[in-house]
Amino acid sequence: MANDQCSKESNCAKTSEEPYLLDSSTFLSEEMNNVGEFRFNSNRHANSSLRFSNNDCTVEWIEASQAIWIPIETKAKLHSGKWSLEFDVEWMGTHQIGVGFLLDWNIGPDWGFFGYLGSSRSAWSYDPSTGDIVTNTESVHGNLPKFTGNSGVIGLELDLPKNEIGKFTFIVDGVRTPTKQLPKSGAVAIPAVCLLSRGQKVTIRNLIRLNQDKTTLPVRNFSPIPGHRYFARTTNGAIQFTEFGINSSLIDPVTKAWTRVVCSIERMSTNSSRIRFNGPVNTTIRSNLALRLSYDEAHSWSVSRILYSGLSAYSDIAIVGNGTRVALVFENGEETFADRIFVAIVPASWIENG
């Protein structure tokens, strides 16, 4: 997508500080748990010719503009692990389009002199109209899969270790491209798109953290000190659990006839630093089914919202709608906690604003 003209909406940062690429190996604990939000940064384009929808996970060029292209970055800052995500190009038309990512600098991402995705040496773009991977205005790999029509899905896998050189792979309508290396270790990646024609529309979806180093299991507590959930943590994919204890923030009902209750835990796809948990919050009876939210890898649960105040027991949770909604199935009833089964779908914002 080389072009001698620069979009008026390109991102240009000015600072007296010497620019350097961010290195996740230097992050403090708070930074390690922060990967931003998996949605487009609509704040940068509040008065532009773009329309954002689907909780800012979809962007469409709808109005005439003097810009030749419009670059749009997300609020996500992915690092310290393996990630996968998808760009659903809902309409491309007959023009070029770019999807990919930029590396984050201390002064913000570098869109390059021309201001499109793939214009700088720290940004990579896939163009499904030509079948090229572009960086620093040049195609570094061509003759790759193209869309056969005006739409298609491009996956992106990012391997971003803290202390090793990272790498990435595009998946175009199910076909994997050759894996490319990043310039340095500890890279922080910002997914982004670049629209080159009015009418083009892209949705980002299905952000998943692969092979995550740490897993937490909240389990039923049969210890001599009941009333709260027990936890176990692993850092090697559940081969061995090395941390155990009682989580005083998570209530576990204790009754004479029943042995605790099965609950559910789920990591958000839009923001992997947020973990949701659901279960009763009454210490003596199975009632008051609540949704809980953790920002620190399930060490504490700072947000709690009661979803169902009556008798309720076993439940399961799933993240749906590109992370914008939470779906639950749970037992409940008037006379007992298992008279019937309900399905509820609530906005993720309802929990976060609790």
pTM comes to 0.62
Pairing relation of β-strands 303-320 and 325-333?
antiparallel
Side-chain half-sphere CA neighbours of 349 within 13 A = 4
**Where do the domains of the chain lie?**
24-210, 215-352
**Secondary-structure class of domain 24-210 per CATH:** mainly beta
Q: Which residues contact 257 (CB under 8 A, 6 or more apart)?
A: none
pLDDT tens for each residue of 312-347: 988 999 888 767 788 999 999 999 988 999 999 998
The predicted structure's pLDDT at residue 223: 60
pLDDT tens for each residue of 127-138: 999 999 999 999
The predicted structure's pLDDT at residue 350: 86
- Please check whether the two domains, 24-210 and 215-352, share a CATH topology: no
Q: What is the arithmetic mean of pLDDT over 249-275?
A: 65
Please tell me the CATH code under which domain 215-352 is placed.
2.120.10.10
* Separation between Cα atoms, residue 88 and residue 147, nearest integer Å: 12
The predicted structure's pLDDT at residue 298: 75
Which range of 192-201, 246-255, 279-288 scores highest in mean pLDDT? It is: 192-201
Q: What is the arithmetic mean of pLDDT over 90-94?
A: 92
The predicted structure's pLDDT at residue 224: 62
pLDDT at 47 over 80: no
Angle formed at CA 36 by CA 238 and CA 273, multiple of 5 degrees: 25
The predicted structure's pLDDT at residue 9: 39
